[in-house]
Amino acid sequence: MSLTAADISRIANLARLELAPAESERMLTQINGFFDIVEQMRAVDTSGIEPLAHPVASVRDIALRLREDIASEPNQREANQRSAPAVERGLFLVPKVIE
Amino acid sequence: MTQASSDLHHLSVAELARRLRERKVSAVETAQHFLARVRAHEALGAFVDLNEEVTLAQARAADQALAAGTAGALAGVPMAHKDIFVTKDFVSTAGSRMLAGYHSPFDATVVSRLGQGVAGGVPGAGMVTLGKVNCDEFAMGSANENSAVAPLGHSGPAPVRNPWDNSRIPGGSSGGSAAAVAARLAPAASGTDTGGSIRQPASFCGITGIKPTYGRASRYGMIAYASSLDQAGPMARSAEDCALLLSAMCGPDLDRDSTSLDVPAEDFARSLKDSISGLRIGIPKEFFGEGLAPDVRATVDAALKEYEKLGAKLIPISLPRTELSIPVYYIIAPAEASSNLSRFDGVKFGHRAKDYTDLVDMYKKTRAQGFGDEVKRRIMIGTYVLSHGYYDAYYLQAQKIRRMIADDFQQAFKACDVIAGPVAPTVAWKIGEKADDPVANYLADIFTLPASLAGLPGMSVPAGFGAGNMPVGLQLIGNYFSEARLLNAAHQLQQATDFHLRQPEGI
């Protein structure tokens, strides 16, 4: 299996990454080099095997916890916005999205 | 000043804690001593941020607590934190331009538990934060060559140097942590291990490091790379020190980390002194194949002989899917990374591009400028394997083989108590040697990836020296929740050998 320049461009768009032409080209070579080592994995017979997400679930039941939907933190708006690129009157600013 | 203060950096965490408790040395004096050492060794590139005012204030608080008899177990002992843990009083960059200068509004649970905070109602151990240490960007790397942050005393990004040979890499991603401990700039440092990022740099720098069972240490405030693999652990010079630090670090954090296990904190030092006579050490044949450098093999073999002298039995075992762990890991970790790193969009924190045409263009330019090459590669791989039409063939298939790898370990542990082998196929390589070959870096992770995928505890213990007189680590892997036994095995080796006490020249 080999990716094409069009694949790289499609994936970069999905990942919201702008790639310069030289970068795309390098990425194509490197990712194809990587998928060479992935091929051996595709041939493994995994029929009847359950996927493993939490590793300890291989030996005991692991239930992902949900906590009550109640506010547990004090209002940290100022601290949380201290590192924001653009803020006005306590709101995060983004480029206009609705005409 | 006490007469011993010029030697403080040679003391173990255990010994420093004892002298602080006995008031033979003050926490302030200790902090000043280590801060001066950090400044004197800036050329190593290990530290990325200090805040002397905060460090000294924490040291004064530790001295007061020690005087009042209210101090935690490790009160006043300084510690460096990998810059992947968020901290209020120091920058939190994850080695990325994306987070240059970023300050978190809160401390990571691990930082609170080791320090002077309170996490989950448990008061911290009272350690003093010395500063933040360098790492690969978002913990992605095996050489610490992927950091975009300028270390202290440097005007731009610079590689962390291995204290044993400044022309070599310290390993990664916790390279700054390993270099700082090996160079005696800190008695201990935190690290994180996703695919070997504690064990491999510990091996390359001749120190001791342990990654506990996945879910033991809280991931709250640990900047996420691959959530189902990321695990925090301590790096120090001895197994005893690691046991003390790990006991303070671990414990449930149920409200803040949904994967934190509801398993009580333990005293991991409780069985350090137990005899290991009769211990069954499994030797996986796949870890000793042709890819293993002869010098590393000879050093590891010598350490295993040492274990036999201590009464342990070596049992041949097989971990048949060792080689498969490379593609499986490099599918799962990038998949999770591509999801975790989608939060860096230039809106709520971190870098934002200056010029853009609309919102999507802002995202794309922000991420193009903020992320380095390796991070972009993994985001691309992750996005691809999760995309429509490829999810089953790659991501799901990798998760299924992940279970088979975990099952292989359970099969192996029927015949043995711990598993031993090399941490890495070679000693630390030269800076720049593999920098342009990402796949070569991936292949070098082969011996650490299996335990990561299975979520098992693993450690690196100094085992001797290989080519170029560079340190070699012995990897010990235990079954789930068997950290105390692993540390016992490591401690017993350290009672019989002195590799963990050796230090680099010029330090």
Residue range B243-291, pLDDT digits in tens:
999 999 999 999 899 999 999 989 999 999 999 999 999 999 999 998 9
**Using the beta-carbon criterion (under 8 Å), do B259 and A64 form an inter-chain contact?**
yes
pLDDT value of position B436: 82
Report the amino acid identity of residue A84. Answer: A
Query: Taking residues B160-168, what's their average pLDDT?
Result: 98
| Residue B505 clears pLDDT 70, i.e. is over it | yes
Minimal CA–CA distance to A56: which of B260, B31, B503?
Answer: B260
Burial (Cβ within 10 Å: 0-12, 13-18, ≥19) of residue A42? middle
Mutate to test the interface with B, among A30, A64, A69, A82 (most CBs of B within 10 A): A30
Residue ranges of domains in chain B: 5-249
Closest by Cβ to B439, choosing from A34, A50, A76: A34
Indicate whether A30 belongs to any domain.
Answer: yes
* Percent of all residues in chain B with a pLDDT value above 90, rounded to a whole number: 94
Q: What is the pLDDT of residues B330-364, one digit of tens each?
A: 999 999 999 999 999 999 999 999 999 999 999 99
Chain centroid to CA B88: how far? 21
Q: Kindly report, residue by residue over B58-114, the tens digit of the pLDDT.
A: 999 999 999 999 999 999 999 999 999 999 999 999 999 999 989 999 999 999 999
Does the pLDDT at position B412 exceed 90?
yes
Q: Which of B283, B249, B306, B233 is nearest to B418 (CA)?
A: B283
A70 domain residue, yes or no: no
Is residue A57 assigned to a domain?
A: no
A27/B454 touch (CB, cutoff 8 Å), yes or no: no
Q: How many CB pairs under 8 A join A and B?
A: 175
Least confident of A68-82, B27-41, B130-144, B170-184: A68-82
CB distance from B338 to chain A under 8 Å? yes
Alpha carbon distance B409, B125 (integer Å): 34
A94 CB neighbours in chain B (<8 A) are 347, 359, 362
Residue A82 lies in a domain: no
Full domain range(s) for residue A4: 1-43
User: Quick check: is A5 in a domain?
Assistant: yes
Indicate the pLDDT class of residue B3, thresholds 50, 70 and 90. Answer: very low
For residue B464, the model assigns a pLDDT of: 98
In a domain, A27, yes or no: yes
Candidates A11, A65, A85; nearest CB to B352: A85
Phi, psi of B465, rounded to the nearest 5 degrees: -130, 140
**Under DSSP, is residue B425 helix (H, G, I), strand (E, B) or coil?**
coil
How far is Cα B398 from Cα A41, in angstroms, rounded to an integer?
Answer: 7
pLDDT band at B5 (very low <50, low <70, confident <90, very high): low
Residues 6 or more apart whose CB falls under 8 angstroms from that of A48 comprise: none
Rg of chain B over all Cα atoms, to the nearest angstrom: 21
User: Structure pTM?
Assistant: 0.97
Which alpha helices (DSSP H) does chain A contain, by range? Answer: 5-14, 21-42, 77-81
Say what the pLDDT of residue A1 is: 63
What is the pLDDT of chain B when averaged over all its residues? 96
The predicted pLDDT at position B265 comes to 87
d(CA B448, CA B194): 9
d(C-alpha B496, C-alpha B487), whole Å: 14
CA distance B389 to B370: 29
Tell me the CATH class for B5-249.
alpha beta
Report the pLDDT averaged over residues B157-163: 97
Q: What is the DSSP secondary-structure string of B148-216?
A: -SPPTT-SS--PPPBTTBTTB---SSSHHHHHHHHTTS-SEEEEEESSSTTHHHHHHHT-EEEE-STTS
User: Measured between alpha carbons, how far is B5 from B401 in angstroms, rounded to an integer?
Assistant: 53
| Whether the predicted pLDDT of B1 surpasses 50 | no
Q: How many domains does chain A have?
A: 1
| B458 CB within 8 Å of a chain A CB | no
DSSP codes of every residue in B223-250: --S-TTT-EEEEEESSHHHHHHHHHHH-
Task: Decide if B440 touches A, using CB distance below 8 A.
Answer: no
Which pLDDT band, with edges at 50, 70 and 90, does A99 fall under? Answer: confident
Chain A residues inside the 8 Å CB shell of B365:
18
CATH number where A28 lies: 1.10.20.60
- The reply to whether A7 falls in a domain is yes
Token pair recorded at residue B328: 């499986």
| Residues of B with a known catalytic role | 82, 173, 197
pLDDT for A21-80, tens place per residue? 999 999 999 999 999 899 999 999 999 999 998 999 989 888 878 888 888 888 989 999
Q: Taking CB atoms and an 8 Å cutoff, what residues of chain B touch A18?
A: 361, 364-365, 367-368
Q: Which residues of A touch B228 (CB under 8 A)?
A: 53-55
Within 341-400 of B, beta carbons closer than 8 Å to A belong to: 342, 345-352, 356, 358-365, 367-368, 371, 376-377, 379-381, 383-384, 387, 393-394, 396-400
On whether residue A60 sits in a domain, the answer given is: no
